Amino acid sequence: MEPAIGRVPGPPRAGRRGNPVAGAPTIRRARFTRAFTLLELLVVLVIIGVVISMVSLSIGTRDRETVLSEQARRLAALINMAGEQAIVSSEPFGVRFSPTGYRFLVLDGKKWHAVSNDDLLRPRRLAAGLRITLEISGEPVPLAAAGDDLKPHVFLYTTGERTPFAATLRIGTDGPAVRVIGPFSGKVRVAGAGTEEQQ
């Protein structure tokens, strides 16, 4: 008697666990999860970049305000010193401004000359990004670029008096500003953003 010939086994039926098609959503979900994680990482990196930029900008602004205050104080101190020299030497001094700096002048006879024998009163140029606007006796005065014109905007007389003025030093065109105020008599003082008014 011949042995019974069994049915030739066919390919296994695709069950839920063995069906590659059924497993496809799992792969897609894994890929989606990985992609979502990368997207989150990119968002975090962008946020970090924005925060760092804002902090850097804030620090940069504070640094520029410090420079602005220092430059204003220097201008006030130099004008006070030039005024004292005018009294001691019995020679009128003057200050001529440009949009980005200033120079000190002395009257020699009937002609104004740039001060040349005092390094402290040498021509000064403001730090990059700072500009000056000027008022004389309350009226705005247009400032030209530094040139050969040696007529003072502000006169420092041998009596200790001066042309009343207010020089505004500003960061850019609309940034923080500090005013250097020179009354007719008395000390030149500084007032404005980041400073306490000083006599």
In order, the DSSP letters of 87-143 are: HHHT--EEEEEETTEEEEEEEETTEEEE--S-GGGS-EEPPTTEEEEEEETTEEE--
Class of domain 67-198: alpha beta
- Low-confidence residues in the chain, pLDDT < 50: 55-59, 198-199
State the residue for tokens 């705005």: 140
Q: What integer pLDDT is reported at residue 117 of this predicted model?
A: 87
Q: What integer pLDDT is reported at residue 59 of this predicted model?
A: 38
Q: What integer pLDDT is reported at residue 12 of this predicted model?
A: 54
pLDDT in tens, 74-125: 999 999 999 999 999 999 999 999 999 999 999 988 899 999 889 999 999 9
Q: What integer pLDDT is reported at residue 44 of this predicted model?
A: 72
CA 32 from centre of chain: 45
- The residue extents of the domains of the chain are 67-198
Identify the CA nearest to 95 among candidates 141, 47, 58, 44: 141
Q: What integer pLDDT is reported at residue 198 of this predicted model?
A: 46
Q: What integer pLDDT is reported at residue 81 of this predicted model?
A: 96
